[in-house]
């Protein structure tokens, strides 16, 4: 059966390479030009637990994974029990009878097909470790959709090459045996993807894209304490620090992280840190210090469900208001929420420029879904990220007369020096201070300095873009959303608009500062409004109401620790009267 769209899912116990198997399967299609989006799910356990990897592949542009699975590869019985209902009518479950007793499952779902592949027997006869059943399943899956085994072999070489030829050859041989079992024993192939233009695409996560954007932006200091789902950014920086002359620090905790970063920024480096909600909580006093000393810093906040430890390896959008109102006192900051890896890349470049130009903290908000899911792209245009360091003085000849660090300028932005240059000596004081940086507690000075720091907002609001509108201007229903909900919403809109139910999206990538006047104008042009968010309390709706007085009554919310699926959004939209 020739298809333009296919969803494949593998599930099994942790320790059987589910995540690496899924990434290989994604890569073999991205390399040939297909649109690929994947998502991995795993519990916060050191050993054991149920892992899955879901991949959607299409010959057309896609924006998210979807509900219906065409092929479910079950490496254990639990996978069938948990995910059988996700398999679409006429879909397939691939299993090993040694690991799965499927009698009851067949009775429950007579509308799907069951393909028995003896994963364990194949591995045993090969003399390979049990863990390599995942490679047998890869070969079998490639055969079931009549795809090229050679591409799979090449990807296996890329992934496992550093482990030596013996491991590579064993992985390849086990995948070959799975492929041959389908082709020679069962003699079936059930799906065949439409051919696309053979353009090799890269697979990147949101974390990958933030990292690439930071390196391109000239980030020279990165500090972090590992915390899911931000940890991979630390690993990426550590892998290139020597080649790109970037100081990378695995600090003892997030308090040390933020203070190290402030020191590096004071010295003149472009700096970035990343964490999740718990670590961000620890950083708050430091963020406030950066604001008072007007020290630029970029902070990546990769959200996960809270409060407390919550669900450490799952996804949610519960920290938006926390970021907007983070730390004590009133101060200017920028909060950015990319919707996909492409936006992660370019908006990271913007984050560094805004931090430098306005000498403020800039917070980039991701979530576990965006941080760790892979999306296929042909390439990013590195030329579209340029470096603007604002009023940074790096040479003594640029200092005109006596230097005053917090000089009360018309735009509120004072010239800033690289530490150590002649004539640039100054105090960077976290107490309230005068223009020279000396502590000052008089009422008159306090008002001057607060007004100075907030005067930056006028120019800043002129610079940051309004929310982007997707879909027909004359829509019956307007969706308001932010961050990673973008993809599932666009996918849902494509289906709804084909049903002649006109829907559009107003998508926020800049959450703060909030341009109230312009947003009020957009609201006035809309018909029925609905907010879509991955949280319980509809935080975007709250921030809109706080700044405009307009209350959006219709809400589609999800807070189960899982990202939205397009079908859930469609169901919610169809209930709006």
User: Domains of the chain: which residue ranges?
Assistant: 2-200, 204-384, 392-461, 468-574
* Predicted TM-score of the model (pTM): 0.96
Decide: 229 and 313 in contact? Cβ < 8 Å. yes
Q: Which of 35, 28, 51 is nearest to 143 (CA)?
A: 28
Place of tokens 């472009």: 270
563 pLDDT band, cuts 50/70/90, is very high
pLDDT at 163: 86
Q: Which two tokens stand for residue 471?
A: 């879909």
pLDDT at 526: 65
Decide: 118 and 101 in contact? Cβ < 8 Å. no
Of 322-331, 372-381, 483-492, 525-534, give the lowest mean pLDDT range. Answer: 525-534
Among 3.40.50.920, 3.40.250.10, 3.10.129.10, 1.10.580.10, name the CATH number for the domain at 468-574: 3.40.50.920
pLDDT for residue 389 is more than 70? yes
Place of tokens 């994947």: 38
2-200: which CATH topology? Pyruvate-ferredoxin Oxidoreductase; domain 3 (3.40.920)
How does pLDDT run across 72-106, given as a tens digit for each residue? 999 999 999 999 999 999 999 999 999 999 999 99
What percentage of residues in the chain have a pLDDT greater than 90? 88
Q: Which CATH class is domain 204-384?
A: alpha beta
Enumerate the β-bridge partners of residue 554: 530
Contacts of 295 (CB under 8 A, 6+ apart): 262, 265, 266, 289, 359, 428
Angle between helices 133-144 and 149-160 (to 10 degrees): 150
Decide: 561 and 318 in contact? Cβ < 8 Å. no
At residue 303, the 3 state secondary structure works out as strand
Decide: 204 and 175 in contact? Cβ < 8 Å. no
pLDDT at 420: 87
Which position has the higher pLDDT, 463 or 419? 463
Distance CA 469, CA 537 (A): 24
pLDDT for residue 524 is more than 80? no
User: Is the alpha carbon torsion for 148, 154, 158, 161 positive or negative?
Assistant: positive
Please state, rounded to an integer, the average pLDDT across all residues of the chain. 95
Are domains 2-200 and 204-384 of this chain identical in fold?
no
**What value does the mean pLDDT take over residues 145-171?**
91
**What value does the mean pLDDT take over residues 375-396?**
95
pLDDT at 251: 97
Q: Which two tokens stand for residue 422?
A: 């002649």
DSSP code string of 179-233:
HHIIIIII-----EEPP------EEE-HHHHHHHHHHHTTEEEEEE---TTSHHH
Decide: 202 and 26 in contact? Cβ < 8 Å. no
**What value does the mean pLDDT take over residues 295-316?**
97
What percentage of residues in the chain have a pLDDT greater than 70? 99
| Number of Cα atoms under 13 Å in the Cβ half of residue 238 | 12
Decide: 361 and 297 in contact? Cβ < 8 Å. yes
pLDDT for residue 525 is more than 70? no
pLDDT for residue 14 is more than 90? no
For 113-161, give the secondary structure using H, E and C.
EEEECCHHHHHHHHCCCHHHHHHHHHHHHHHHCCCCHHHHHHHHHHHHH
């Amino acid at each position: 059966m020739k298809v333009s769209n296919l969803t494949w899912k593998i599930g099994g116990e942790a320790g059987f390479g589910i995540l690496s198997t899924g990434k290989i399967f994604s890569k073999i299609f991205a390399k040939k030009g297909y649109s690929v989006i994947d998502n991995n799910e795993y519990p916060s356990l050191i050993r054991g637990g149920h892992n899955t990897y879901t991949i959607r592949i299409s010959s057309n542009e896609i924006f998210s994974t979807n509900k219906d699975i065409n092929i479910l590869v079950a490496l254990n019985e639990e996978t069938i029990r948990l995910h059988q209902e996700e398999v679409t009518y006429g879909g397939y479950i691939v299993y090993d009878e040694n690991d799965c007793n499927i009698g009851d499952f067949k009775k429950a779902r007579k509308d799907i097909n069951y393909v028995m592949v003896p994963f364990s027997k194949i591995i045993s006869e090969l003399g390979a470790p049990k863990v390599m059943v995942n490679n047998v399943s890869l070969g079998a899956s490639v055969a079931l959709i009549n795809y090229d085994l050679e591409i799979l072999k090449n990807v296996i070489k890329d992934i496992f090459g550093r482990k030596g030829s013996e491991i590579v050859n064993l992985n390849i041989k086990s995948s070959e045996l799975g492929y041959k079992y389908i082709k020679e024993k069962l003699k079936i192939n059930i799906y065949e993807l439409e051919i696309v233009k053979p353009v090799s695409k890269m697979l990147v996560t949101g974390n990958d894209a933030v990292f690439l954007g930071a390196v391109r932006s000239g980030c020279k200091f990165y500090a972090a304490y590992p915390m899911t789902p931000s940890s991979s950014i630390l690993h990426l920086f550590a892998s290139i620090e020597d080649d790109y002359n970037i100081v990378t620090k695995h600090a003892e905790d997030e308090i040390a992280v933020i203070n190290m970063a402030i020191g590096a920024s004071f010295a003149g480096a472009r700096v970035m840190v990343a964490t999740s909600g718990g670590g961000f909580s620890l950083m708050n006093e430091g963020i406030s210090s950066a604001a008072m000393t007007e020290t630029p810093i970029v902070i990546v906040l990769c959200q996960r469900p809270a409060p407390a430890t919550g669900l450490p390896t799952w996804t949610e959008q519960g920290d938006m208001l926390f970021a907007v109102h983070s730390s004590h006192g009133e101060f200017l900051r920028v909060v950015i929420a990319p919707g996909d890896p492409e936006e992660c890349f370019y908006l990271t470049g913007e984050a560094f420029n805004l931090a430098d130009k306005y000498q403020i903290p800039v917070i980039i908000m991701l979530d576990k879904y965006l941080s760790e899911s892979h999306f296929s792209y042909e390439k990013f245009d590195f030329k579209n990220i340029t470096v603007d360091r604002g009023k940074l003085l790096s040479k003594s000849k640029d200092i005109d007369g006596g230097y005053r660090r917090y000089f009360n300028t018309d735009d509120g932005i004072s010239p800033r020096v690289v530490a150590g240059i002649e004539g640039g000596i100054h105090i960077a004081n976290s107490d309230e201070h005068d223009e020279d940086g000396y502590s000052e507690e008089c009422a008159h000075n306090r008002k001057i300095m607060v007004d100075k720091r907030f005067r930056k907002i006028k120019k800043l609001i002129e610079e940051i873009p309004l929310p982007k509108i997707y879909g027909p201007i004359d829509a019956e229903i307007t969706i308001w959303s932010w961050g990673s909900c973008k993809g599932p919403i666009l996918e849902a809109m494509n289906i709804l608009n084909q049903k002649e139910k006109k829907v559009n999206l107003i998508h926020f990538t800049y959450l703060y500062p909030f341009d109230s006047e312009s947003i009020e104008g957009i609201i006035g042009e809309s018909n029925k409004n609905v907010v879509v968010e991955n949280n319980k309390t509809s935080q975007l709706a709250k921030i809109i109401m706080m700044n405009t007085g307009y209350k959006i009554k219709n809400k589609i919310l999800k807070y189960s620790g899982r990202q939205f699926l397009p079908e859930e959004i469609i169901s919610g939209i169809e209930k709006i009267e």
